[in-house]
Every structure is written in structure tokens, then in C-alpha cells.
Structure 1
Amino acid sequence: MLDSTPSGRPSRAVRALALLALAALWTTACSAPGGAPNGDPTAAPPLPGPEDGEGGGDGADGGEDSSAPRGDGPLGDRVVVIDPGHNGGNADAPSEINAQVPAGNGEKACDTVGAESVNGYAEHEFNWDLSLLVKERLEADGVTVILTREDNEGVGPCVDERAEIGNENEADAALSIHADGGPESGRGFHLITPGEIPGLTEEIVEPSALLAEDIRREYLEGGDVPYADYLADEGLDERTDLGGLNLSTVPKVFLEAGNMRNPEDAALLEDPEWRERAADAIARGMAAYLMRG
């Protein structure tokens, strides 16, 4: 929540410089032989630091409007769609969210209610809180950020509509933010990437995998959450059953930021100060990806 920021935290301009500086250091290391995991040859050289860190908007107006002007920061020519999973009104609209919609390789329910911690902290609220924080940080670097929903009181949008928002806005990357509802004994985070489906996802499989790797690296270091120990492989899970990925024509991943049903993970997810740190890490990963091309 934006109004829960501790007094005395760094300004947005300072955070912008910090995010880009860290991303630049990483991409510089990637450009050197053996400097990055797997010696990735695709990393771009670092961008210069921002002349004005106040390049973005005010943080809370989302939806499908892509008319916002480009930011003045070093990533001012990039567009990112952030998809806060689920919505606060879904539980009261079962007929709407259970309606079948296209999912690429079949049909699925429009949307779902989402998970909840034992203390009653709803996943849809967590997703919204964290998405606003990530949006704020990316906008400070000049990124045009579009949210797939305008608030946390509505219904949907359906999974096919969420994908279409990224497609229509020709986003450089799209990130769907979630928290898992796994077994109580399991903890950790993972990222879901699109698997290859002929005629649908061939063009986004590789760039989406790079996006996942960049976010995974920064989130593991800055989020204080381990890789999920109950599914996925070192924090990565490739799937072909999610309409939000199957129907995307732009690089897209899902972040399951932690397991809401695990007490250790839930204690972090419920903590506003932790969400600030998590947003920093996610924004650094996204900035590193955007600087590749």
C-alpha cells in the first residue's frame, strides 16, 4: 500500500538511480565473458543514469488506457503491462468468473477468486498492493506502465482479456503478479513461463524465459524468499495450460511471489515493509530485461 511507506525511505528519484545502477552493473557483467549465469551473450550494454528520476505517473490509474505520455527516464521508450491477479469482486460474481473463455488450447474459467492467508489477507489484495509498488518504481525510470484492472473492487477481467491488454499495447513485457495457494508445508516462490504451442506461443517462449530469469535472480536476492520447494525447478515452471500466457503475443511471465498458506511466506506477504523490498527486486529484474534490447 502506497500510504504505508515508512517515513524517511529514499525518494523515487534515488530509487530510480539505484534500480538502474544495479541493472547496469548486472548487464555489464553479462557483457563480459563468464560474467553472468550461463555467460548470456544477449545482454545489452548499460544505459546512462536518469537525468530526472521523476519520470512516471502517480501510480494508481490502470486499465487499458495507453495514452499516457512516455516517461523522461532512461527507460522512457518502454511499455510494461502489470497484471494484478484476480480481483476483489470475483467472489461475489460466480456466474461471471466461471464463464468459459478462450485459453489458447481450449477454454477455461474467466477468472478465479484466488488464495488467502490464515489471517484473512486475500491474494487479490496482495496482488494489487504489490503491483502498485512495482508500477511506481518502473515509472520512476520512465517506463509507461499499464495495469490490467483499475482497482481492487471489480470483477475480472477474464484471462483472455488480460492477455489482450498486453497485445493491444504492444508491451515490451508483461508480468502477472500472484501469490500461490499451495500446501501449508511448502514455501517459496516460482515464475511460470509459456511452453511452446504451435501457432500460438513460438515467438514468446524464448524472450519470456529471459524475462523470468531476470526477475528470478533479483527476487531471490532481494525478496528473502527461497525457490518453491513443492513444485517447479529452481523457481521456474513452464506451462501450456494458462490462457494469460497462451494468448499473449508479447513476452510474459507469472510470478507466484510466495505461498499464502505457508506461515513463513504469509508473514512476509502480509508485511508492508517487505512488499516495498519485493517491489524493488521485481523492478530491478524487469529493468534488467528491458535493457537487453
Structure 2
Amino acid sequence: MREDESVPPRSRQAARLRPLLTAAALATVCLITAGCGDDGTGRAEPRPGTAAPSGAPSSAPAGTASASKSPSPAPTSGKPLPRGPLTGRTVVIDPGHNPRNRDHTREINSQVDIGTGRKECDTTGTATDAGYPEARFTLDVSRRLRTLLEAEGAKVVLTQDDDRPFGPCIDERARIGNEAGADAVVSVHADGSAVGNRGFHMILPAAVRGGAADTAEIVAASRDLGERIAGNFVRVTGSAPSNYVGGNTGLDTREDLGGLNLSTVPKVFIECGNMRDPKDAALLTSADWRQKAALGIAEGIGSYLKR
């Protein structure tokens, strides 16, 4: 579930996939635009009127919170990185939410500036009906993704590694990628929508300018990154694009997410599946499938960075 889904999203554009630049990606674009694999594993993202996320935080209290008073981002594994095709590249992985956010509802409900307005610091995320939390899913996939990227020589930073009491807030999540000078940032999520809503989708930044937000320099690069991840995700996992977001393209452009608005480096969100749909939940709770999800994302990032 994305960072601030408790606030109804504003304008959403269904984006059409441009042809991807690599031969492997080109082969997968046809799958996405044709809505291939309707029985594939997907994910979904809650929309107004859909099932509410588990443990959603209460309304925000008066006052504001500073996201700068929190611990530093999680470092890489600490082991010397092998030389590989991604040597010299920096990737920031943003595991959505935090397993302990639900114990800090006052803090995560405090408002932060996202450039075009104010939003909650963070949310608790959703969970499967059996109680498997989105925050645990995002951490697992992000750690697997880190291992894969480091094996290719990339420097990887996690915005959190279950090493802090809550958060980080959405503005700090953006700032971590910016300050790292990341070549790519991917925020990992899963959805909490209605039963029957299935299929993954990428969330891409819209052209936004206001306050501290100005995405003009990252819109095109972020779209390229998102398209490449989408193509590789289809190929590796067999998942289909969302059947209820993005017009069957697997892409959704948003202007109301602080994690994208405040980014100055290429960044996308990926919603990996709908935790409230039984078929998707069975995939999201499978360690084997989570490894495939991490691999699909890693290969998409690699395709983007090697272009």
C-alpha cells in the first residue's frame, strides 16, 4: 500500500507503455499492453470505495512533525562489493511502511510537507486476511533485491531495515534517495484493495511543481525506469498488469505522493499484489514468489542502469 493512501488520490492518468529499449524488454511490452497472463500474479492498490487497509491510522493530530530527527538509512551489507555491471551505481530501495508503525500512530499521523500540501508522515500499511503485514512483505522483498543488486556490484541503501521505531516519514524517504545521489530509487509496496482486484502496477511521478516539489527533471527517466521494471516483472513472475489501475498498462501516473513529488532522482513505486485478494495473497506469502518479485525488479533496474 502506498505511502499515504488514506488520502483520496487526486488526478490519475493511465499511461501507455512506450517501447522499451532492450530486446528482452521489447518482448515483454506486448504482454503488458495485451493484458497477458490474466491468471498471473498481480497486485492491486486500494482506491476510494475499496476495502480499507488493516490497521489504518486514525486522523492526524494537530501540529507537525519533523522527519529529520530519525536514524540514518540502513547501510549496505558491509561486505566488499564484487565488481560487476552495476559497479559505481547507487540504488536506494525504499521498503514501504515499517513493522512498528502501528505502535506509533501519533507520530506517523503527524503531518509533513510534500511540496504541494501536507500528508501523514507514514501509514501502517495493509495485511493479508491471515495477518501477514505489508511491512514484512516489503522488507523481505527489499532485502532479497539488495542481495541481487549487490551481486552485480551496485551500492544499495535501504531507507529502513526494521532498525527504527517508526517511519521514516515520506519526506525523509525522498531525501535519503536525493542525498545518496541515487541512480535509481524503487519504493516497494503491496496493495489492500477489494477481492477480485489483481495485478501489479508501477506508480510514476507526474510533472509537479509547488513548494519544495519539482519533478520536471525526473519524469522522463522515472517513466523509463518504471517501464523496464514492469516488462521484466511480467517476464520473471508471470504477473499481469493491474485489472483496475492504469488501464491494463501496469503504469499509473500520480501527482499526490510525497515520496515522488520530493524526489530529485529517478524514482518509482511498485505495488506487488493485492494482499486482500486470496489468489494474490497466496503469492505474496510465498517465499519462492517473493524471490521472483525481487528478481524481476532487479532485472528492470539493471536494464535501466545499463542502457
User: What range describes the TM-score normalised by the shorter chain of this pair?
Assistant: 0.7 to 0.9
Q: Distance in 1 between matches of 2:22 and 2:129?
A: 43
Q: Which residue of 1 aligns with 2:243?
A: 229
1:110-189 matches, within 5 Å, as 110-151=121-162, 154-189=165-200
**Code of the aligned partner of 2:294:** A
Partner of 2:286: 271
1:24-173 matches, within 5 Å, as 29=23, 63=73, 65=75, 71-151=82-162, 154-173=165-184
Correspondence 1:203 to 2:217: yes
Query: In the alignment, which residue of structure 1 is the partner of 2:258?
Result: 243
Counterpart secondary structure, 1:203: coil
**Does the 8 Å contact 2:231/2:300 carry over to 1?**
yes
Structure with more contact order per residue of length (Cα contacts < 8 Å, sep ≥ 6): 2
The C-alpha deviation readout for 1:23-53, integer Å capped at 9, x for no partner, is: xxx966389xx98969xxxxxxxxxxxxxxx
Runs of 4+ in 1 over 4 A off after TM superposition: 34-38, 64-71
Contact conserved, 1:148 with 1:162, CA < 8 A, in 2? yes
Percent identity over the alignment is 49
* Alpha-carbon shift at residue 281 of structure 1 (Å): 1.1
When structure 1 is superposed on structure 2, of 110-119 and 225-234 the one drifting more is: 225-234
Match of 1:214 in 2: 228
| Counterpart among 254, 257, 264 of residue 269 in structure 2 | 254
Structure 1: segments with no counterpart, 5+ residues: 1-25, 39-61
Aligned residue identity for 2:283 = L
CA contact (8 A) 1:64 1:165 kept: no
* TM superposition score normalised by structure 1: 0.77
Local SS of the residue matching 1:256: strand
Which whole-Å CA distance do the structure 2 matches of 1:152 and 1:118 have between them? 26
Using structure 2 for the length normalisation, give the TM-score: 0.74
Contact 2:28 2:235 in 1 (8 A): no
Instruction: Quickly say closer, same or farther: Cα 1:67–1:230, change in 2 above 3 A.
Output: closer
2:298 corresponds, among 279, 283, 292, to: 283
Higher helix share: 1
Pair 264,37 (structure 1): closer, same or farther in 2 beyond 3 Å: closer
| Contact residue 190 and residue 255 of structure 1 kept, 8 A | yes
SS at match of 1:171: coil
> Aligned pair count?
242
Deviation at 1:198, TM superposition (A): 2.8
Measured after TM superposition, the shift of residue 64 of structure 1 is 5.2
8 Å Cα contact 2:75/2:157 also seen in 1: yes
How far apart are the structure 2 equivalents of 1:276 and 1:37?
22
Q: Structure 1 residue 63: deviation in Å? A: 1.8
CA RMSD across the alignment: 2.4
